[in-house]
Amino acid sequence: MHYRNALLASLLLSATATLAQNTALQPEAETAEPVQPRQVILIIGDGMDEQQITIARNYLHGAAGQLLLDHMPLRSAVQIQTSEDRVDGKPVYVADSANTATTMATGAITSIGRISTSAGTDQDLTTIAELATAAGLRTGIVTTASVTDATPAAFAAHISLRLCEDSATMEEIRYRDIFLGECRADLKAVGGKGSIAEQLAESAVDVILGGGSAHFTPLAEGETVSTLDLARRNGFEVVTTATELAQATSDKKLLGLFAPGTMPVRLQGEDGREAENPERSWLNQLHPYIGSVTLPPPMTCEPNPEATGVPTLRQMTDAALEHLASANDRGFFLMIESASIDKQSHERKPCGSIGELEQLEEALDSALAFAQTHPHTLIMVTADHSQAAQLVPYESLFAAFPIPVYTPGKLARIVTPEGSHMAINYATNNFIMEEHTGAAVPLFSNSEGVGRIPPFIQQSQIFAITREYLGI
């Protein structure tokens, strides 16, 4: 495919020492044996820690039930590392999705907010997708977020700040009146690579599927066309509906954008409800041990009507696998993200996180089916960082005490299909969005990971394991 040549040249120019050692760049040995394609499918549940997994398991399969994840033959734990934004910066104990995706994509530890750039020095870090492309493998990125969001971005773009998602955000990013940052040093006018959307549009990634069409409508920097047209010019076929996705040809690169931003989640709280503050009587506001407190009424989860007709993560996964595997004797690297486990947890919406974890399970099911017919497929499922939601007692451990005992944060009480009640607490801050948390996260793999992945790894080893498995 011609579009790989330009990238290969640019990669070689900026090659790191690591890249220079890349054995896959050597001419293949001439043997009679046909080369067996090898592929890695890395599934990232954003914010999918043990609390999120247990909450989803209880809801979807019951307290004694099992997820597909639970049947995976290998379970490991992943140590997450983050640095201050300077050379030899001290450790930071709680990460964000940008620095953790960078670590998985490049093997390097960096600072919060960075997309495959180095802490302190702002140097581009070569990603596993770029290495795969350079070695002649195909690559894919699938997400329920905007494709320009931190996790997908880190596999194919390099920028100092995750918020610079499109060409309109490079000089100043504001939320209402609040200045949140800029990426002027990354403008093409000063020798940078432009915004995340522009970098994706100009990338060699073979399949990019998710939300984020709004980030492709601004004019590309220095161009008279939109970023979406820039992508078309760079060889991408663009699709925007499930039908178009199903009909896409497989001889062009594929860019699917199915929502303006984050794709709608599958489940929501009854009537859109989220976790709520307990209602405190006047007396209780005088002192928390007197008066009365009314907890939020229990609710069920219900289908989110906005998700109707939008491709599921499984449909996107199936399309990506088809596109990547068709007439491919070199293999591929595919990253699949279930993004809204995290996003719905930030918004204190447990039903949304549950439905999103169900989507991850379906994508995993597709990946496992693919591996059945394609040997040498390593599937890893992990999270990037832990999140705020806590499964707490429906009745306080201290209910015997004749005083109101209640969370100082926000609580959702969910009626589960097996007829019990599950209480979920969000109390990391008083802001409109919860904080992340710092616990190590699980990693699961199929049988190809057994013997390759130890029971405890650093997050950077995901890059190393992927690279070694692909032989690139």
Q: Which of 155, 220, 141, 152 is nearest to 188 (CA)?
A: 220
Restricted to residues 383-402, the positions that interact with its own copies (CB under 8 A) are 386, 388, 390-394, 396-398, 400-402
Restricted to residues 272-301, the positions that interact with its own copies (CB under 8 A) are 288
Among 7, 77, 295, 368, the residue binding its own copies under the rule CB under 8 A is 77
Among 9, 71, 283, 369, the residue binding its own copies under the rule CB under 8 A is 71
Among 54, 226, 250, 328, the residue binding its own copies under the rule CB under 8 A is 54
Restricted to residues 172-201, the positions that interact with its own copies (CB under 8 A) are 175, 178-181
Q: What is the CA radius of gyration of the chain?
A: 23
Among 145, 187, 238, 440, the residue binding its own copies under the rule CB under 8 A is 440
Among 62, 120, 291, 298, the residue binding its own copies under the rule CB under 8 A is 62
Among 105, 131, 208, 427, the residue binding its own copies under the rule CB under 8 A is 427
Q: Which of 126, 145, 268 is nearest to 208 (CA)?
A: 145
114 close to 121: Cβ distance less than 8 angstroms: no
110 binds its own copies (CB under 8 A): no
Binding segment toward its own copies, per CB under 8 A, in 17-25, 35-43, 218-226, 433-441: 433-441
Residue 235 or 291: the one with the smaller Cβ distance to its own copies is 291
Q: Which residue's structure tokens are 């491709």?
A: 311
Contact string 8-27 vs its own copies (x = CB under 8 A): --------------------
Cβ contacts of residue 49 below 8 Å, gap of 6+?
383, 385, 386, 387, 437, 439, 441, 442
Q: Is 97 a residue of the active site?
A: yes
> Any bridge partners for residue 390, and if so which?
425
Q: Which of 4, 32, 42, 253 is nearest to 136 (CA)?
A: 4
Residue 358 Cα to chain centre, angstroms:
15
Residue 55 or 472: the one with the smaller Cβ distance to its own copies is 55
For its own copies (CB under 8 A), the number of binding residues is 82
Cβ contacts of residue 241 below 8 Å, gap of 6+?
258, 309, 311
DSSP 197-212: HHHHHTS--SEEEEE-
DSSP 318-336: HHHHHHHHTT-SSEEEEEE
Residue 192 or 404: the one with the smaller Cβ distance to its own copies is 404
What is the C-alpha to C-alpha distance for residues 422 and 300, in angstroms, rounded to an integer? 10
Contact string 137-156 vs its own copies (x = CB under 8 A): --------------------
Residue 124 or 448: the one with the smaller Cβ distance to its own copies is 448
52 close to 45: Cβ distance less than 8 angstroms: yes
**In this structure, what token pair is assigned to residue 152?**
């997908």
**In this structure, what token pair is assigned to residue 312?**
């599921």
Give me the catalytic one of 97, 118, 160, 353. Answer: 97
Binding segment toward its own copies, per CB under 8 A, in 43-51, 217-225, 308-316, 357-365: 43-51
CB of 292 to its own copies, least distance (A): 14
Among 11, 42, 112, 360, the residue binding its own copies under the rule CB under 8 A is 112
Residue 35 or 433: the one with the smaller Cβ distance to its own copies is 433
CB of 314 to its own copies, least distance (A): 22
Residue 136 or 438: the one with the smaller Cβ distance to its own copies is 438
Q: Which residue's structure tokens are 């790989």?
A: 4
Binding segment toward its own copies, per CB under 8 A, in 253-261, 348-356, 372-380, 436-444: 436-444
Residue 303 or 408: the one with the smaller Cβ distance to its own copies is 408
Q: Is the dihedral of CA 187, 191, 197, 198 positive or negative?
A: positive
Q: Which residue's structure tokens are 């995901």?
A: 462
Q: Which of 104, 59, 39 is nearest to 383 (CA)?
A: 104
What is the C-alpha to C-alpha distance for residues 392 and 266, in angstroms, rounded to an integer? 24
Q: Which of 42, 91, 45, 148 is nearest to 386 (CA)?
A: 45
CB of 120 to its own copies, least distance (A): 16
Among 16, 217, 300, 458, the residue binding its own copies under the rule CB under 8 A is 458
275 close to 411: Cβ distance less than 8 angstroms: yes
Q: Which residue's structure tokens are 């700040």?
A: 161
The residues annotated with a catalytic role in the active site are 97
